[in-house]
Structure 1
Amino acid sequence: MNQNNKPAELSYYGLYLLSYLKDNHPDKAHDAAFVESRADRAAEMFEQARREGYPPEGAQEIAMAALLEGLRFSKYDTIIEVLWNEFAEEVAQSDAPAVALRLLPYMEGIFTQYPLSDDFAYSPEYEQLYTELTGAVSISLEENGI
């Protein structure tokens, strides 16, 4: 394989982010440009923090905050939570991740009605979102067999 055909090697931050995305945002895990740009930004934040005198642990905390900014709330994880809590008899726990991935496009319209942020799951609106998702999942399971 020549140099031009080699896959890009990921940094520590790139590997961490890729793993995190596969677990929490599988719909974003294939966006190599996103992963690379986030990883580069995290590395830059680490270096800048170290130049400013932060100890390695503090610089790492700053870098990880930059790496995961806007990714701590997961639509996918929320759908899995709804499936586990409300549809355990219809969807086996082991099947919930695959079902959630298939449901995600159908649920986008519901998610767009809320101001999603890293701490959204702790907001008063989360319960309303959860209730709406429960209804939408119920309809999807009945109508589409998803």
Structure 2
Amino acid sequence: MLEINRGLYDFNYYYLYLLQYLRSNKYEVDSDHPQLQANSIAALDAFEDARRNGATVTMAEEEAIRVLFTNIGESEYNIISELILENFGDTIDLDSTEAVEYWTNQVMTDIPDLFEGFDRMAIGLDPLDLSIMENEIVGKIVIYLSDNGLQ
């Protein structure tokens, strides 16, 4: 999981913002990943450049956030949670947030090759690859549920 490395990046708002986002969406990435550092520095530069060029704080912030999330894909955890909710609500009990979390963690733990074959971005999964391979992922989950008597 993400661990904060105390250093230069502690004072970069965008670095901390990105770390918090990744943590809350359960990305599996090291806090020292070069992409995080590069994106946070680029976002800070984008904010400063926008302000120097006359942009309002809100406009500069929007540009910085856009730059901050460059090459950040979708969270595997969120993908599985959404697929479970969309496709398996009638098969397994998903009446609470805890139930969805339980089944998401269970599926991710018990099917380690769930995302095999994906061309991975630096962080997260490419949404285009996901749209192409979504049926394959759902199929693996169906097989898992069937093998465990839940389908």
TM-score when normalising by structure 2 = 0.67
The equivalent residue for 2:105 is 98
| 1:139 paired residue among 112, 137, 143 | 143
The equivalent residue for 1:17 is 18
C-alpha displacement at 1:101, in angstroms? 4.5
Q: Does the alignment pair 1:108 with 2:115?
A: yes
Distance 2:20 2:110 in 1: 22
**1:18-61 alpha-carbon deviations (Å, 9 max, x no partner):** 11111335212x23243332211110111111122211111111
- Name the amino acid aligned to 2:75: S
Name the SS for the 2:74 alignment partner. Answer: coil
Q: Indicate if the aligned counterparts of 1:80 and 1:100 stay in contact, CA closer than 8 A.
A: no
Q: Aligned Cα RMSD in Å?
A: 3.3
Moved more, 61-70 or 132-141: 132-141
TM-score when normalising by structure 1 = 0.69
**1:56-88 alpha-carbon deviations (Å, 9 max, x no partner):** 111111100011123253333111111222234
Moved more, 47-56 or 67-76: 67-76
Q: 1:104 to 1:50 in 2, by over 3 A?
A: farther
C-alpha displacement at 1:140, in angstroms? 3.8
Alignment of 1:58-73 (within 5 A): 58-71=59-72, 73=74
Q: 1:65 to 1:59 in 2, by over 3 A?
A: same
The equivalent residue for 2:85 is 84
Q: Which runs of 5+ in 1 are unaligned?
A: 1-5
Count of aligned pairs: 132
Q: Indicate if the aligned counterparts of 1:46 and 1:59 stay in contact, CA closer than 8 A.
A: yes
The equivalent residue for 1:7 is 6
C-alpha displacement at 1:135, in angstroms? 0.4
Q: Which runs of 5+ in 2 are unaligned?
A: none
Q: 1:112 to 1:54 in 2, by over 3 A?
A: same
Distance 1:65 1:24 in 2: 18
